[in-house]
Amino acid sequence: MLGTWYGGASLLALAAFVVPAGIAVREAIFLAVPDLTGADAATLAITATLARLVFLGAEIAAAIFASMLTFGNRHEQG
């Protein structure tokens, strides 16, 4: 349920076009409605923080993987 609500908050944050990539907007939306999930504010804050760290790690890993593929393709073509 928390993951679904975090995804929903991410989609709602896309409407905040003034803020680049909805930074902090997603977490604010996620924490604004604790009754929707039945979790307390502390649980929501920890979940939002951990989700942000996981997504950041995934983005870094994807960038490294894409860089490695690009570097490998350049050297194969010679």
> CA-CA distance, 50 to 21, in Å (whole number)?
18
Predicted confidence (pLDDT) per residue in 47-63, tens digit: 888 888 888 899 999 99
- The CA R_g of the chain, rounded to the nearest whole Å, is 17
Q: For the segment 9-67, what is each residue's pLDDT rounded down to a tens digit?
A: 877 777 776 666 556 777 777 888 777 778 888 888 888 888 888 888 999 999 999 99
**What is d(CA 60, CA 40) in angstroms, rounded to the nearest whole number?**
30
Task: Give the count of alpha carbons within 13 A of 4, CB side only.
Answer: 3
SS3 40: coil
pTM (2 decimals)?
Answer: 0.66
